[in-house]
Structure 1
Amino acid sequence: MLHARHYPGDPERPAIGLHCMMGSGRLFEPLAAHLDGLIDLHAFDFPGHGRSPDWQPEEGVDLHTKVTRHAARMIERPVDLIGHSFGATVALRIAVGVPQAIRSLTLVEPVLFAAAPAAARRDEQDRLARFEQQGDWDGMLRQFLGDWGSPGEIPTDGPKADRLRRQMRMVVDTNAALMEDRADILRPDGLEQIAAPVMLIAGAKSPDIVHDISEALAARLPDVGRATIPGAGHMLPLTHAEQFADLTRMNLERA
């Protein structure tokens, strides 16, 4: 059973928040506080994250599919989807699959690497591959968290360190799916069918590849706005919560 989080608000505006890898549903707590009840926001912790149990691989079901199915089961009527990083790619997958179920789509730096130019994808893969080849999971953690906006001391002993290492392995496994778009999110005439308003948000200090991805997605989405927050990096939902909330509100009001 995945841990569920609820930030109560207007029952007529159901919303689902989908967090990043190595994060949790708590990512949306600052957003909910700034939106002051505008939406009724539910956010669950992915397997192996937050208060949810560890990820147990299933035959033929990867983590992306598991999270997508769980989120899709929560939708009973048109919903506002808000996703960050990995969670934003899940939101896109749902929107492409059932566009009529989406009221609005607010995406912070969706890491759908398959949408980026080939050279940028290779660079992203190579950044972590050398650590994997050496079996240096702690080094990979430092590289990954530094690249994506969470530098600082990383525990090397105890339960928290062990879970971080397990999460890092999940990141590596999931990156392959995102590099190859195994869920076929980018299929012809898929993004073009999303009629709901979409807001693509990025941090000015984020890795270049996220801007490449946003540009590629925006070129195909019928109703899309883009915003870049000055001084922000990948973890902008936490570091720039007020600006994130303002942009989310703007998109919600368009729906």
Structure 2
Amino acid sequence: MIPHINTRAFGAGERPALAIHCSLAHSGMWRAFGDVVGDLVTLHAYDLPNHGQSGDWDGQGVMHDTATAMALRVLDDIGPDPIDIIGHSFGGTVALRIAIEHPTRVRSVTLFEPVYFAAAFADDPGFADRYAADTADFDAALAAQDDEGAARAFNRAWGDGPAWEDIPANARRYMTDRIRFVPDSAPFLLHDSAGLLTPGRFARATMPALVLAGATSPWAADVNGAIARRLPQVQSETLDGVGHMGPVTHPDRVAPLWAGFLKTA
């Protein structure tokens, strides 16, 4: 069942776009991004399940399927197809999946560090071992039912911002309350539950694609590279001095890249 979907829009451009946020954030992360590109596009952003003001995943089936169904419902509301899509981290994996499974609905797709680790695992089994070692503290905290410890470890790996103790208490609580969303994402992100790696499936995504990364991110080069190698029509860019949270921390650098790409897509 698709839960309640909370949406909001940023910018006032004639060209509509769907924006999908990362894990433990909410649709408001696109506000500053919209300020930069708002003359070109109107960003339609939605809260993922268990995030912001959207409803919760009911625990049935695969959570990524629900997040994708929500995105498709928002596309229905935006209309008409095709529509530009941009996604960050987990949101990038939803954008990628829609581009492959529903290519006629997508005018262009932009992915900022999509965490589709399954593609990198398939290309380099050694990467899976490195990833497991790097996330051992997060996994240990989850196993110990220490959700705050897991959120702290997750923020250390992905946040590229303030230390955990310097984050406001309400934001720390928000992330801690939603940290189980991360292991719930594993069937798709780590194990390719939707079968996107089946030969020939990536070839369906023939629209222009832009794959972005921050140079300081620990795993982006491997994952972005594995995705870019499979996409038929792709541009790749890496931003110096930017980390995984680039769309939030550096919208003044990421958004103009996207705008330039849209003008050619």
In 2, distance between residues paired with 1:82 and 1:42?
A: 10
> Structure 1 residues 123 and 167 mapped into 2: Cα distance closer, same or farther (>3 Å)?
farther
What amino acid is the match of 1:112? Y
> What corresponds to 1:211 in structure 2?
221
- Alignment identity in percent? 35
> What corresponds to 1:90 in structure 2?
94
Matches within 5 A, 1:229-240: 229-240=239-250
> What corresponds to 1:10 in structure 2?
13
The structural deviation recorded for 1:37 is 2.3
> What corresponds to 1:104 in structure 2?
108
Look up the SS of the partner of 2:263 in the other structure.
Answer: helix
Cα deviation, 1:135-190, whole Å, max 9, x if unaligned, reads: 33222211110110244235999876554333111112213431001112222112
Gaps of 5+ in 1: none
* Stretch deviating more after TM superposition (228-237 or 119-128): 119-128
> Structure 1 residues 166 and 125 mapped into 2: Cα distance closer, same or farther (>3 Å)?
farther
In 2, distance between residues paired with 1:226 and 1:26?
A: 26
Aligned residues: CA RMSD: 2.1
Which one of 202, 205, 230 corresponds to residue 194 of structure 1? 205
> Structure 1 residues 236 and 159 mapped into 2: Cα distance closer, same or farther (>3 Å)?
closer
> What corresponds to 1:177 in structure 2?
188
The structural deviation recorded for 1:56 is 3.6
> What corresponds to 1:59 in structure 2?
60
What amino acid is the match of 1:57? D
Q: Quick check: 1:17–1:83 contact (8 Å CA) kept in 2?
A: yes
> What corresponds to 2:144 in structure 1?
134
> Structure 1 residues 63 and 18 mapped into 2: Cα distance closer, same or farther (>3 Å)?
same
> What corresponds to 1:21 in structure 2?
23
Q: Quick check: 1:138–1:156 contact (8 Å CA) kept in 2?
A: no
Scaled by the length of structure 2, the TM-score of the pair is 0.87
> What corresponds to 2:130 in structure 1?
123
* Stretch deviating more after TM superposition (14-23 or 122-131): 122-131
What amino acid is the match of 2:210? M
The structural deviation recorded for 1:3 is 1.6
In 2, distance between residues paired with 1:31 and 1:104?
A: 17
Look up the SS of the partner of 1:254 in the other structure.
Answer: coil
> What corresponds to 2:68 in structure 1?
68
Gaps of 5+ in 2: none
Look up the SS of the partner of 2:5 in the other structure.
Answer: coil
Count residues with an aligned counterpart: 251
Scaled by the length of structure 1, the TM-score of the pair is 0.90
Look up the SS of the partner of 2:31 in the other structure.
Answer: helix
* Stretch deviating more after TM superposition (224-233 or 130-139): 130-139
In 2, distance between residues paired with 1:148 and 1:59?
A: 28
Q: Quick check: 2:13–2:38 contact (8 Å CA) kept in 1?
A: no
Look up the SS of the partner of 1:180 in the other structure.
Answer: coil
In 2, distance between residues paired with 1:154 and 1:47?
A: 27
Q: Quick check: 1:142–1:151 contact (8 Å CA) kept in 2?
A: no
